[in-house]
């Protein structure tokens, strides 16, 4: 039986080590001009935040759509809403608002650039109309020389005042919020012993029956007020939020973006089949008309 010479094995190992050292340390592979779809997940989040910030500044929806398509997301709207939920959970409310605004613009198909263009065009029209045409100058008065000095009456100079109308500047279009005011379409008492006692559940939908993430909810009572947001529990739903009510306290709830007011909210008393009592909950559903 032939044995493999050790010098060949050592030579192969040395060659392999030199190749790895060259490819990893001396001349590693550098990826240049890669497509956004090849980015890491956290870099894709940064890319989406940059697109949302650019849209908030320019209002150019077609450009934002073209840039988002480079990421290859299955649904840009759902991906933007999910990223907004993560930012809200980490306290980044400004970026979350921009992402939600872009997601709503994509869903509704409305863009800010058309409003800005029409405003600029009207400003140009006003500037053209306000250009005053100065009247022609007065003709020169010839001097007359006579032998007898005569008193020549000189006419006082005519002062022409040109009144220039101030040119209105185009106003900046506001960034769209989550939409029109919401309507309270359902208020149900929930008696489920498997849920926490006094659980107040809130569901927020837009006009297309899609759950709205990042909606601020304000709940008040006699001696206090608290705020919470939808979308912090994506495993339940993007437009879901909940709050634990205390017994014998009456609450009032509304959405910060504008909604119907749900007042007189008190945790109901429920009873199990065995006759035991427990504190039930309430489920509120808001939707855009």
Residue 207 sits in a domain whose CATH number is 2.60.40.10
pLDDT of 115 over the 70 cut? no
The pLDDT of residue 2 is 62
DSSP of 68-90 = HHTTT-S-HHHHHHHHHHHHHHH
Instruction: Note whether 73 and 194 are same-domain residues.
Output: no
For the segment 117-126, what is each residue's pLDDT rounded down to a tens digit? 444 444 444 4
Burial class of residue 47 in the structure, from the number of CB atoms within 10 Å of its CB (0-12 exposed, 13-18 middle, 19+ buried)? middle
Domain end among 173, 199, 220 = 173
Instruction: Note whether 217 and 281 are same-domain residues.
Output: yes
The pLDDT of residue 32 is 64
Instruction: Note whether 43 and 149 are same-domain residues.
Output: yes
Instruction: Note whether 229 and 261 are same-domain residues.
Output: yes
For residue 248, being part of any structural domain is answered with yes
The pLDDT of residue 256 is 87
CA–CA dist 172, 57 (Å, integer): 10
CA–CA dist 164, 75 (Å, integer): 53
Q: Name, in order, each residue with C-beta under 8 angstroms of 195's C-beta and a sequence gap of 6 or more.
A: 281
Core vs surface per residue 218-248: b (16+ CB within 10 A) or e: ebeeeeeeeeebbbbebeebbbbbbbebeee
- Residue 238 phi, psi dihedral angles, 5° rounding: -65, -30
Q: What is the mean pLDDT of residues 66-77?
A: 91
Instruction: Note whether 24 and 61 are same-domain residues.
Output: no
Instruction: Note whether 52 and 7 are same-domain residues.
Output: no
Instruction: Kindly state the DSSP code that residue 193 receives in the 8-state scheme.
Output: T
The pLDDT of residue 166 is 54
Q: Residue 187: in which H helix or E strand, if any?
A: strand 183-190
For residue 178, being part of any structural domain is answered with no
Instruction: Kindly state the DSSP code that residue 196 receives in the 8-state scheme.
Output: P
Q: Residue 127: in which H helix or E strand, if any?
A: helix 113-129
Instruction: Note whether 160 and 221 are same-domain residues.
Output: no
Burial class of residue 100 in the structure, from the number of CB atoms within 10 Å of its CB (0-12 exposed, 13-18 middle, 19+ buried)? buried
* Host domain of residue 247: 183-287
pLDDT of 171 over the 50 cut? no
Instruction: Note whether 140 and 83 are same-domain residues.
Output: yes
Core vs surface per residue 178-211: b (16+ CB within 10 A) or e: bbeebebeeeeeeeeeeeeebbbbbbbbbeeebb
- pTM for this prediction: 0.47
For residue 19, being part of any structural domain is answered with yes
Instruction: Note whether 74 and 194 are same-domain residues.
Output: no
For residue 244, being part of any structural domain is answered with yes
The pLDDT of residue 263 is 94
Domain end among 155, 173, 191 = 173
Instruction: Note whether 35 and 151 are same-domain residues.
Output: yes
SS3 of 134, please?
coil
Domain end among 148, 173, 198 = 173
pLDDT of 146 over the 50 cut? no
- Both structure tokens of 120: 């600029």
For residue 224, being part of any structural domain is answered with yes
pLDDT of 6 over the 90 cut? no
Instruction: Note whether 40 and 156 are same-domain residues.
Output: yes
Which candidate, 142, 152, 140, 55, places its Cα nearest to that of 106?
55
Q: What is the mean pLDDT of residues 76-105?
A: 87
How sure is the predictor about 201, in pLDDT bands with cuts at 50, 70 and 90? very high
The pLDDT of residue 174 is 40
Question: Which residues face 285 on adjacent strands?
Answer: 186, 203
- Both structure tokens of 103: 């997601």
Evaluate whether 280 touches 266 at the Cβ level (below 8 Å).
no
For residue 212, being part of any structural domain is answered with yes
Instruction: Note whether 105 and 225 are same-domain residues.
Output: no
For the segment 17-44, what is each residue's pLDDT rounded down to a tens digit? 998 888 888 888 776 667 888 888 888 9
Q: What is the domain count for the chain? A: 3
Q: Residue 243: in which H helix or E strand, if any?
A: strand 240-244
């Amino acid at each position: 039986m032939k044995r493999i010479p050790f010098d060949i094995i050592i030579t192969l190992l040395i060659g392999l080590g030199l190749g790895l050292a060259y490819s990893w340390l001396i001349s590693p592979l550098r990826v240049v001009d890669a497509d956004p779809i090849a980015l890491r997940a956290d870099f894709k989040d940064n890319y989406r935040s940059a697109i949302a910030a650019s849209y908030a500044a320019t209002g150019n929806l077609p450009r934002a759509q073209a840039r988002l398509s480079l990421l290859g997301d299955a649904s840009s709207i759902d991906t933007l809403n999910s990223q907004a939920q993560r930012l809200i959970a980490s306290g980044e409310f400004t970026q979350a608002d921009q992402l939600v605004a872009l997601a709503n613009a994509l869903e509704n198909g409305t863009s800010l650039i058309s409003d800005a263009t029409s405003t600029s065009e009207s400003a140009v029209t006003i500037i053209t109309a306000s250009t005053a045409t100065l009247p022609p100058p007065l003709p020169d008065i010839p001097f007359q020389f006579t032998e007898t000095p005569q008193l020549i009456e000189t006419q006082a100079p005519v002062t022409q005042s040109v009144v220039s109308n101030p040119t209105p500047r185009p106003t900046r279009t506001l960034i769209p919020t989550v939409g029109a005011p919401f309507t309270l379409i359902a208020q149900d008492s929930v008696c489920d012993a498997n849920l926490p006692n006094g659980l107040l559940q809130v569901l927020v939908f837009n006009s297309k029956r899609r759950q709205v993430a990042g909606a601020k909810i304000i709940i008040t009572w006699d001696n206090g007020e608290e705020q919470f947001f939808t979308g912090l529990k994506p495993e339940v739903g993007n437009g879901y939020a909940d709050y634990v009510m205390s017994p014998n306290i009456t609450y009032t709830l509304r959405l910060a973006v504008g909604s119907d007011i749900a007042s007189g909210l008190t945790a109901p008393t429920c009873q199990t089949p065995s006759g035991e009592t427990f504190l039930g909950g309430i489920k509120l559903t808001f939707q855009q008309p």
